[in-house]
């Protein structure tokens, strides 16, 4: 589904990613861990196509397409979803309207009829039921005046509605209390399926206790320095990142 | 990166920039008493009207063009303008059948069909082409309710007492430089009178079209709502693309008696000039409403997207106790446009309330200024004002400025003021795109969300038009 080879990327001419390799098969859940500044979030942003980063080398193939050649909205419509670490506010636009526009942008490209407000509301209601969440966020403006936890929950609602093939969660667990982390994890588990893959970018092992990843990768200095399974995450939790960055020879 | 990205949405050509090829009858260029006599004669005005104009002209000659606004433009040569331009016609048309088909076609192309079978439902339209009104729809139907909706030149002839009583009562002829000029040379516009207790059954609307070269348009609108009446009125406008700057100096006066409500909406789409700042309309307008009676209400809603330079402050004089003034504004500037716009709320009566919501959007190299004054006079016990001024910047070469003036002379007044400035950022656009929404749709969504509080004040028929217009004026500002 996704093959990243020797990916290099920089921002303002400063190189952040220095040769990332990663292969994700359909249905797999990959956790990307690493200390602050290791390039985790940059990697997530580059996959989604943030225009602030310049890709300076390597390749990314997503479902046999050159992902790096695609515009951010094309990537999204092709099934790549990024749950933002810092979701952005859009005043005066409700979450419901925003999501309806997003859904219809996809449907339009697929040659399907656009959903009207009623059909969309019905679909949305089904998703919320599945998540076990109420509709209190839906009629509020997109991330405008929402608390940190509400913003993250809102990202998960979007994920549920947009049904991506590849969902990238960028530190969705940061700043959440344990109940909220559990709620996010439950939602992810709910949406795991043989043809949907997840990349979970996180600083802490905490959320991985609830979403057992198939693979755990550790990023340091813009490279994957170690890969393993859940045991690696537990070791990081117990011992921190220092032993690893030292072993990898990065400061 | 960001500014080049954001600059591309602004490249959409002005949609109403074509002109109608029609023979015009033009007054010679220049302004003097003979020209004013000529205009008055063309309009078959009574003598008092001519005197009124001449008095205004004599005042104007003693006045100086004001320079306090935050706009710059080369000096205007007032002698290089035709003050009267009318499509040639044998005689005044009795009905639509007599109107030159070219004119009907012009308005149809502008989306304002005048023919009975095509005209907009629920909206009565007065169509003004250069210096004359071409047609007014639903005139007869409105008459049944006692509502007078006429070109002002006709009203001067047919309802002289009403016009005489109210014309200049809110904006005196010597109020300011452009109001004095307008009073001297105004050519057409609309007159509305809603009698006691009548809720006007239709939206009233005037559409102004400038067509002839080197002309100015000086419209005059007067709306009077008698006790317990309601009326909603909308004006729209456009002009051909020309290299020269054309002057549009209008005066609008509103009078609301006891318990009456006037809702005045504007969708201003004059030609804004080209990308290099060449051409475009100078829109120097005086709009003022007088809440004369208690519990009266005047509400201004404006969506300003056009004009090279805009200079206007729709205001409310809240004389009647418990009267209400409202101002909702979206002003969009792009390329080299300049807008200095806002409102004045003068609280005189007790328990008077005013609300100001201003949204300024600047793109390209434009400058967008909000200028507002709230004045609470001594006798205005418990007056309240709420002001909210939000600015949005698209790109990094434009400017947004806010000048709120507050003058409170009564200690029981309550004032609230909020102001924000935000930027349509790469991050907002990226966020929308990451959900599958195209860049262009993203910008339009962000801007529309920003303007929502104002758009919801527009009559329904026009809210859609405003949304569309906004998308067009900003198209290409991101890329």
Q: Does A231 fall in a domain?
A: yes
Closest C-alpha among B357, B356, B353 to residue B382: B353
- Whether A76 contacts chain B with CB within 8 A: yes
Please report residues of B whose CB lies closer than 8 A to that of A48: 430, 434
> Does residue A113 sit within a domain?
no
B448 contacts A93? CB cut-off 8 A: yes
Q: Residue A231 above 70 pLDDT? A: yes
Q: Average pLDDT over chain A, rounded to whole? A: 92
- Closest residue, chain A, to B431 (C-alpha): A88
pLDDT of A205 over the 80 cut: yes
Mean pLDDT of B217-224: 93
Q: Give yes or no for residue A248 having a pLDDT over 80.
A: no
> So what's the pLDDT on residue B102?
79
The pair of three-digit structure tokens given for residue B75, joined into one six-digit string: 């000096």
Token digits of residue B282: 């100078």
* pLDDT value at residue B92: 61
Gap between the terminal Cα atoms of chain A? 33
A25 is a domain residue: yes
Choose the closest CB to A101 out of B426, B431, B441.
B441
The answer for A 114-173 residues in CB contact with B (under 8 A) is: 141-142, 158, 162
Q: Please check whether residue B402 lies inside any domain of the structure.
A: no
The arithmetic mean of pLDDT across residues B155-167, rounded, is 95
pLDDT the model gives residue B304: 86
- Domain hosting A57: range is 2-84+148-248
Element (H, E) at A7: strand A2-11
Mean pLDDT (whole number) for A71-94: 95
Q: Is the pLDDT of residue B6 over 60?
A: no
Cα–Cα distance for residue pair A46/A36, rounded to 1 Å: 17
Is residue B400 assigned to a domain? Answer: no
Model confidence band, residue A167 (pLDDT cutoffs 50, 70, 90): very high
pLDDT value for B277: 77
- Cβ-proximal residues to A112 (8 Å cutoff; 6+ apart), any chain: none
Q: The complex's ipTM?
A: 0.95
| Burial of residue A29, with CB atoms counted within 10 A of its CB: 0-12 exposed, 13-18 middle, 19 or more buried | buried
Taken in order A30, A36, A42, A45, the sign of the CA dihedral is positive
Nearest Cα neighbor of A35 from A207, A228, A239 is: A239
A186: domain CATH number is 3.40.50.300
Do residue A82 and residue B1 have CB atoms under 8 angstroms apart?
no
Burial category of B418 from C-beta neighbours within 10 Å (exposed 0-12, middle 13-18, buried 19 and up): exposed
Residue of B237, B239, B249, B308 whose CA lies nearest to B278: B308
Q: Minimal Cα–Cα distance from A45 to chain B, Å? A: 10
What is the pLDDT averaged over residues A231-242?
86
What pLDDT shows up at residue B288? 97
Q: Which residues of A touch B422 (CB under 8 A)?
A: 91
Lowest mean pLDDT among A31-35, A224-228, B7-11, B329-333: B7-11
pLDDT at B320: 97
> For the residues B235-261, what does the mean pLDDT come to?
87
pLDDT, tens digit (0-9, with 9 covering 90-100), for A137-164:
999 999 999 998 899 999 999 999 999 9
- Choose the weakest-confidence range: A111-120, B342-351, B399-408, B440-449: B440-449
What distance in Å separates residue A48's CA from the closest CA in chain B? 7
Q: Do A29 and A198 meet the contact criterion of CB atoms below 8 Å apart?
A: yes
Nearest Cβ partner of B434 from A48, A89, A90? Answer: A48
Q: What is the extent of the structural domain holding B319?
A: 2-356+425-474
Per-window interface: A 45-64 vs B, CB < 8 A: 48-52
Residue B106 is predicted with a pLDDT of 80
**Would you say residue B289 lies in a domain?**
yes
Of the ranges B71-75, B213-217, B346-350, which is most confident? B346-350
SS3 for A182-239 is HHHHHHHHHHCECCEEEEEECCCCHHHHCCCCCEEEEEECCEEEEEECHHHHHHHHHH
pLDDT in tens, B18-47: 778 777 788 888 899 999 999 999 889 999
What is the rounded distance in angstroms from the CA atom of residue A172 to the CA atom of residue B263? 48
Closest by Cα among B269, B360, B263, B266 to B316: B263
Residues A75, B434: Cα–Cα separation, whole Å: 8
- What local confidence, expressed as pLDDT, does residue B5 receive? 38
Q: How far apart are alpha carbons A129 and A124 in whole angstroms?
A: 9
Mutation choice for B interface testing from A44, A86, A101 by most B CBs within 10 A = A101
In a domain, A173, yes or no: yes
For residue A98, being part of any structural domain is answered with no
For residue B377, list its beta bridge partners: none
Q: Which secondary-structure segment (H or E) carries B357?
A: strand B353-362
Contact A84 B434 (CB under 8 A): yes
In which region does residue B377 sit, left (phi positive, over 0), alpha (psi from -120 to 50) or beta (all else)?
beta
A219 pLDDT band (50/70/90 cuts)?
Answer: very high
In-domain check, residue B388: no
Min CA distance, B84 vs chain A (Å)?
45
Q: If you average pLDDT over every residue of chain B, what do you get?
A: 86
Q: Assess whether pLDDT exceeds 50 at residue A58.
A: yes
**Domains contained in chain A, number:** 1
Predicted confidence at residue B463, as pLDDT, reads 72
Indicate if the pLDDT at residue B9 is higher than 50.
no
Task: Tell me what pLDDT residue A251 has.
Answer: 45
- Residue-wise over B320-332: b if at least 16 C-beta within 10 A, else e? bbbbbbbbbbbbb
Q: Does A68 map to a domain?
A: yes
Instruction: Give the pLDDT mean for B164-184.
Output: 94
Instruction: Kindly state the helix (H) or strand (E) to which residue B318 belongs, with its residue range.
Output: strand B315-318
* Alpha-carbon span B415 to B404, nearest angstrom: 12
pLDDT at B98 over 80: no
Comparing B79 with B258, the larger pLDDT belongs to B258
CA neighbor of B176 nearest in space, from B114, B261, B250, B262: B250
pLDDT of A128: 93
Strand partners for B194: B225
Considering its fold, how many domains does chain B have in total?
Answer: 1
**Contact residues, chain A, for B433 at CB < 8 Å:** 49, 71-73, 76
| Whether B238 contacts B223, CB under 8 Å | no
Percent of chain B with pLDDT over 90: 46
Q: How far apart are CA B189 and CA B219, in angstroms?
A: 5
Inter-CA distances, A169 with A88, A188, A234, A246, B277, Å: 15, 10, 20, 27, 46
d(CA B191, CA B137): 14
Whether B13 has a pLDDT exceeding 80, the answer reads no
pLDDT of residue B227: 98
Phi, psi torsion values for B210, nearest 5 degrees = -90, 130
Condensed to tens digits (0 to 9), the pLDDT of residues B100-150 reads: 877 888 888 777 777 776 777 677 888 888 777 777 888 888 999 999 999
Whether the pLDDT of residue B236 is over 90: the answer is no
Using the Cβ of A245 and the Cβ atoms of chain B, whether some distance falls under 8 Å is answered with: no
Q: Mean per-residue pLDDT for B307-317?
A: 91
pLDDT score for B216: 83
Give the list of residues 6+ apart from residue B129 with CB closer than 8 angstroms, or none: B86, B87, B103, B106, B107, B209, B211
Q: Is residue B362 part of a domain?
A: no
Residue B408 inside a domain? The answer is: no
């Amino acid at each position: 589904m996704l093959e990243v080879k020797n990916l290099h990327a920089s921002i303002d001419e400063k190189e952040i990613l220095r040769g990332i390799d990663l292969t994700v098969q359909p249905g797999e859940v990959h956790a990307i861990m690493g200390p602050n500044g290791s390039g985790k979030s940059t990697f997530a942003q580059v996959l989604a196509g943030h225009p602030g980063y310049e890709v300076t080398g390597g390749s990314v193939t997503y479902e046999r397409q050159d992902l790096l050649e695609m515009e951010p909205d094309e990537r999204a419509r092709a099934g790549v979803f990024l749950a933002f670490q810092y979701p952005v506010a859009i005043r005066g636009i409700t979450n419901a309207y925003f999501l309806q526009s997003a859904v219809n942008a996809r449907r339009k490209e697929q040659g399907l009829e656009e959903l009207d407000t009623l059909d969309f509301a019905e679909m949305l209601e089904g998703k919320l039921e599945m998540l076990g969440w109420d509709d209190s966020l839906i009629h509020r403006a997109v991330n405008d005046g929402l608390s940190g936890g509400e913003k993250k929950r809102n990202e998960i609602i979007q994920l549920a509605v947009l049904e991506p093939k590849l969902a990238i969660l960028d530190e969705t667990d940061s700043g959440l209390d344990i109940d909220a982390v559990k709620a996010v994890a439950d939602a992810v588990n709910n949406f795991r399926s043989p043809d949907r893959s997840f990349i979970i970018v996180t600083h802490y092992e905490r959320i991985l206790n609830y979403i057992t990843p198939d693979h755990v990768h550790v990023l340091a200095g813009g490279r994957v320095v170690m890969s393993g399974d859940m045991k690696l995450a537990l070791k990081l939790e117990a011992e921190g990142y220092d032993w690893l960055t030292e072993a990898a020879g990065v400061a | 990166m960001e500014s080049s990205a954001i600059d591309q949405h602004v490249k959409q050509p002005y949609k109403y920039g074509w002109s109608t090829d029609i023979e015009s009858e033009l007054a010679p260029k220049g302004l003097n008493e003979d020209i004013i006599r000529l205009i008055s004669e063309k309009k078959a005005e009574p003598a008092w009207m001519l005197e009124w104009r001449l008095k205004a002209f004599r005042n104007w000659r003693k006045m100086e063009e004001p320079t306090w606004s935050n706009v710059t433009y080369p000096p205007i040569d007032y002698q290089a303008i035709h003050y009267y331009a009318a499509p040639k016609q044998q005689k005044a048309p009795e009905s639509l059948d007599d109107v030159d088909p070219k004119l009907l076609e012009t308005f149809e192309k502008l989306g304002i069909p005048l023919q009975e079978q095509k005209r907009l439902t629920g909206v009565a339209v007065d169509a003004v082409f250069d210096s004359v009104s071409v047609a007014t729809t639903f005139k007869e139907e409105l008459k049944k309710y006692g509502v007078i909706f006429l070109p002002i030149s006709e009203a001067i002839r047919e309802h002289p007492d009403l016009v005489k009583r109210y014309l200049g009562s809110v904006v005196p002829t010597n109020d300011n430089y452009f109001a004095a000029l307008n009073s001297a040379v105004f050519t057409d516009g609309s007159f509305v009178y809603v009698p006691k207790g009548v809720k006007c059954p239709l939206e009233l609307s005037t559409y102004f079209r400038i067509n002839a070269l080197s002309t100015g348009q000086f419209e005059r609108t007067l709306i009077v709502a008698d006790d317990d009446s309601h009326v909603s009125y909308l004006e729209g406008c456009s002009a051909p693309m020309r290299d020269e700057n054309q002057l549009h100096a209008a005066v609008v006066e509103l009078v609301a008696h006891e318990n009456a409500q006037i809702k005045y909406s504007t969708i201003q789409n004059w030609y804004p000039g080209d990308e290099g700042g060449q051409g475009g309309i100078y829109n120097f307008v005086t709009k003022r409403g007088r809440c004369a009676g208690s519990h009266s209400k005047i509400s201004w809603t404006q969506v300003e997207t056009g004009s090279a330079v805009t200079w206007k402050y729709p205001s409310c004089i809240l004389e009647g106790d418990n009267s209400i003034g409202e101002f909702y504004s979206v002003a969009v500037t792009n390329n080299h446009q300049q807008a200095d716009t806002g409102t004045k709320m003068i609280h005189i009566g007790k328990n008077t309330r005013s609300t100001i919501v201003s949204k300024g959007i600047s793109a390209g190299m434009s400058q967008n200024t909000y200028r507002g004054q709230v004045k609470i006079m001594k006798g205005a016990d418990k007056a309240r004002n709420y002001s909210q001024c939000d600015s949005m910047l698209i790109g990094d070469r434009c400017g947004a400025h806010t000048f709120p003036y507050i003058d409170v002379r009564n200690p029981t007044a309550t004032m609230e003021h909020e102001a924000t400035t935000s930027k349509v950022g790469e991050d907002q656009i990226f966020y929308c795109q990451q959900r599958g929404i195209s860049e262009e749709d993203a910008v339009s969504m962000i801007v529309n969300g920003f303007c929502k509080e104002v758009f919801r004040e527009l009559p329904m028929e026009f809210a859609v038009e405003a949304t569309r217009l906004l998308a067009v004026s900003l198209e290409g500002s991101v890329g």
